[in-house]
Structure 1
Amino acid sequence: MRPPGYLPYLPQAEPIAVADNLWVVDGPEISYRFAGLKLPCPTRMTVVRIGEALWLHSPTEYAPDLGKRIDALGDVTWIVAPNSFHYSHIADWAAAYPAAACHVSPDVIAKLPPLPDRPIPLGDAASSGWRDDLEQLHVDLGGFVETLFFHRPSATLIVTDLVQNFEAERIPNPFLRTVLRIGGSTGPGGQTSLDVRMAARGHRDRARDALAHILRWAPQRIILSHGKGFDRDITAELQRAFRWAT
């Protein structure tokens, strides 16, 4: 078995409680291309329970055992592909939960395989089923689109790729560690990755507006899809992470 490029967060494929009705699930490492290289990347799903309904954000790889653990929390009702890159596992989860509604970034609809039902494009308006618990902000940066979410009961900001925070000590290969540092998302102070910043050229004003909106939410915690999240000094962390745009 090939050694991991990024030492995994444990346990894998198991819901871990973060706050009341809020869990994360750490999934298997994936690879993504940057400057012609394949770089290791950890994955993370966020699960929110609203009543008995479950909201799955950026689902990790589906497996029956993980499905059983998710079923123990509630009924999968919404499956969310939150940005231009995070849609690979949507079809597998939709096949396992055909009654769930798939809410996806508008720019990936044409890339999705056939789903049990028509996908619903994400925007600034939250779905009526989750808007009492989750607020959202649609950020269109031209070559990159992401919808951010704020879980109001726990004051938690849920981010996919607009902020990443890889941990250097989890990257055994020194060359890959250096490349990821150059990419700009290696902690302890992660930020928006270089590839997303390049895609957002010409739209920094939209990123600045997004930061102002996020700060008005006053989050007390940030869950990231990639890397270590934040639970202190949130305003300072966000201002630093978006410094490229301000």
Structure 2
Amino acid sequence: MTRVGYEPYEPQLTISPQAEDIWTVEGPEVQYRLAGALIPCPTRMTVVKLANGTLWLHSPVAYSANLQQTLDALGPVSAIIAPNSYHYLQVDAWASTNADATVFASADVAHKIAAKPIALGGKLVADWSADIDHISVELGKFSETVFFHRPSQSLVVTDLMQTFEASRVRSLFVRLLLKLGGATGPNAKPSIEIRLAARKHRDELRVGVEQMIAWNPRRVILSHGACIQNNSVDAIESAFRWLKN
């Protein structure tokens, strides 16, 4: 049995509505190594029902046949998104079951995905562009595409903003490590690794942040930690205030 290091968000592998035609799915945690410690990381998928009746899956969590059945009742999956340099491991499992879906992936991991994805970035126009805007942020060894679902005014962010809740981290040492890195808030912000990656790419990140603010989102859906339901523009400005230093 896998040891759980972060108190999971419930219910797991079940769709939860965020607004009309947009849901989230809480997935099992993954772990990565930082400073010699295993860091527990909750996962979250975002599901959007497009105006054409098909589904758009962002950052897929672990595949579940029961979850697939629930999604099938909402509509066929037409797009599966691997939004950044780290979030691609579950894509092929979902692509193999949804053979008619098109996979879109951060360009730097496209070669790691068997489903032959279309690279995100630039002025990409896709079937989902009628409902969802996007901007890609290139930070050298890290890149991420951020999305804005216009009908629900929801910003969907993967790792550029995170809010790990300290009270959910079960290891005191890991909790301290995350606090030192700024990952436990109280305000959402990029992880220390991404802030380091941005040192030589601050202008590129500023352009992305300016667009996120210009979209004026009502809510921010995060892949890791507590989502932001109020004062979203203030939260974005706070998350990237360090860029002014």
Q: Which residue is 2:43 aligned to? A: 43
Does structure 1 residue 54 correspond to structure 2 residue 55?
Answer: yes
Preserved contact between residue 138 and residue 146 of structure 1 (Cα < 8 Å): yes
Aligned-partner Cα distance in 2 for 1:30–1:233: 29
Q: Which residue is 1:174 aligned to? A: 172
Aligned-partner Cα distance in 1 for 2:2–2:121: 40
Superposition misfits of 4+ residues, deviation over 6 angstroms: none
Question: Per-residue CA shift, 1:221-241, capped at 9, x if unaligned?
Answer: 000000001111212211111
Unpaired stretches in structure 2, ≥5 consecutive residues: none
**Amino acid of the structure 2 residue aligned with 1:29:** E
Aligned-partner Cα distance in 2 for 1:126–1:181: 37
**Amino acid of the structure 2 residue aligned with 1:96:** T
1:76-87 equivalences in 2 (<5 Å): 76-87=77-88
Query: Displacement, 1:126?
Result: 4.7
Number of residue-to-residue matches in the alignment: 243
Q: Which residue is 2:229 aligned to? A: 231
**Amino acid of the structure 2 residue aligned with 1:16:** S
Preserved contact between residue 30 and residue 42 of structure 2 (Cα < 8 Å): yes
Query: Displacement, 1:3?
Result: 4.5
Unpaired stretches in structure 1, ≥5 consecutive residues: none
Question: Per-residue CA shift, 1:166-185, capped at 9, x if unaligned?
Answer: 00111121111111111211
Partner of 2:199: helix, strand, or coil? coil
Query: Displacement, 1:2?
Result: 4.9
Partner of 1:176: helix, strand, or coil? helix
**Amino acid of the structure 1 residue aligned with 2:166:** A
Query: Displacement, 1:41?
Result: 0.3
Q: CA RMSD in A?
A: 1.2
TM-score, normalised on structure 2?
0.96
Q: Which residue is 1:194 aligned to? A: 192
Preserved contact between residue 37 and residue 174 of structure 2 (Cα < 8 Å): no
Q: Which residue is 2:25 aligned to? A: 25
